[in-house]
Structure 1
């Protein structure tokens, strides 16, 4: 059985590829760089700008794991349509698409790239499921975030103090993706994240327990966060991220719906913050 993994050498696709390789599955790692080496996997050069390359990569696959890169939205829309065209042409047995925390709205004119791809997959006639996390715990490992935790005992993040989030890790996405490749009876949107939702001070407490020191939570503004991450992501993507946090602040929380959760649909329980910190070996 062959599984095609977008971003198999990256933060989100890497754990999916690793879990499948560990299970003895045949993995094709999609990459734009021909000199990449991934032990246990076959590296396939394919670019999301080429429907032909994607079609060739998907043909005969038992499963395809997809997520869209953090690039300008115009490019993401192009990639979404190309991926959907390739899925329709190649007809892989199963597609699992992670929204990477972007909301899935109603498809149609003006829809986001994530919503566009989700809608096109639904119309493709190919067995698929959509993994919908809220926010990634790995965001807390960005140097501007984890640095002050270690040095000052302050966890700063652009969410209000009492704002609850169903955080998920990339490891949790991998667990859900592997389960969804096997559980073809489960389709539609599967929410992945901690439930009940976790607040900033609760995150800070988990970091403090792990590091053996007091850690407090500080709500920073989206603009402060944009300035922190722009050197890493670029001004455009950083501005998009900041806008997402401004929109989040207007919501009551970012909690998953338990009836569509991985816990209920797949029997897969995401890691607690403390367990995730232990699993990654934060020191």
Structure 2
């Protein structure tokens, strides 16, 4: 018996893998090629395009952690359907899905992922399988601020440039917070539905800049960046399709007053887990 982690070498999967191993839980990483993760975890080859390959990895698993990769929406839809089919066939004991920032639980209708989107297809399909599951719903990840085109400007110019307006509150969280919640949900089959992850109340761009100021010991100011300009910065990192999706997200955020979670379905309320402050996160990552 083991825990199956998608994206175990990536931003969301790797912290969860480390968390599980630190608590003595056996884990298997899913990758394009079989081999060994840098920490010694076995990597099993299984492609999102193959229901049978996925099902063979999911079989007899105590838990499966899934999040959709940043690719075209057409591909994500196909992957979502294949993942659901594989889960339905393999019947693992518990499934935890991360929305990776897509909004499915609140508050502004215009920000909700469409019913025919990949993430909604995945969540709805998972519900229909009848498997024990939970969905983690973060908003924006603090690790976004470590992207080279963002962090380089912080270091060289003392300016944090990011899309939201200066007075726009966000329930920021880190990948480390996401991992804490996912690990806890593996052990809490009594908790189902959507669990919101993020700081509550939300914080603003100047709040983030102040945390960088305090951590680095020199002044950092906040400047809003247009969604289009942000997308262009991301093209070399995640490609045109991924960058376009990110730009669209921030264009949508510009039409609403906040991107914050509700207290009633938060990890704080349901699991007693409070996300790291920006200062705590900066200290832990050793920036």
Structure 1: give runs of 5+ residues left out of the alignment.
Answer: none
Q: What's the CA shift string for 1:198-257, capped at 9, x where partnerless? A: 100000000111110001000010111011111111112101100110001111101100
Q: Which residue of 2 aligns with 1:130?
A: 135
Q: Note if 1:271 corresponds to 2:279.
A: no
Q: Which residue of 1 aligns with 2:5?
A: 5
Give SS of 1:217's match: strand
Structure 2: give runs of 5+ residues left out of the alignment.
Answer: none
Moved more, 272-281 or 108-117: 108-117
TM-score, with structure 1 as normaliser: 0.97
Please report the RMSD computed on the Cα atoms of aligned residues, expressed in angstroms.
1.6
Contact 2:113 2:119 in 1 (8 A): no
Contact 2:197 2:267 in 1 (8 A): yes
Distance 1:74 1:132, change over 3 A: same
- Distance of 1:170 and 1:110 partners within structure 2: 26
Give SS of 2:27's match: strand
Q: What's the CA shift string for 1:20-40, capped at 9, x where partnerless? A: 011111101000123443424
Q: Which residue of 2 aligns with 1:150?
A: 155
Q: Identify the match of residue 249 of structure 1 among 254, 266, 271.
A: 254
Q: Which residue of 2 aligns with 1:140?
A: 145
Q: Which residue of 2 aligns with 1:17?
A: 17
How far residue 110 of structure 1 moved from its aligned partner, in angstroms, is 5.5
Q: What's the CA shift string for 1:23-67, capped at 9, x where partnerless? A: 111101000123443424221111111000000000000000000
Match runs of 1:18-33 below 5 Å: 18-33=18-33
Q: Note if 1:49 corresponds to 2:54.
A: no
Contact 2:35 2:44 in 1 (8 A): no
Aligned residues: 282
TM-score, with structure 2 as normaliser: 0.95
Match runs of 1:85-164 below 5 Å: 85-104=85-104, 111-164=116-169
Q: Identify the match of residue 185 of structure 1 among 183, 186, 190.
A: 190
Q: Which residue of 2 aligns with 1:37?
A: 37
Contact 1:153 1:214 in 2 (8 A): yes
After the TM superposition, which segments of 4 or more aligned residues of structure 1 sit over 6 Å from their partners? 105-109
Q: Note if 1:227 corresponds to 2:232.
A: yes
Contact 1:103 1:114 in 2 (8 A): no
Q: Which residue of 1 aligns with 2:77?
A: 77
Q: Identify the match of residue 215 of structure 2 among 189, 203, 210.
A: 210
- Distance of 1:215 and 1:16 partners within structure 2: 31
Give SS of 2:251's match: helix
Contact 1:27 1:40 in 2 (8 A): no
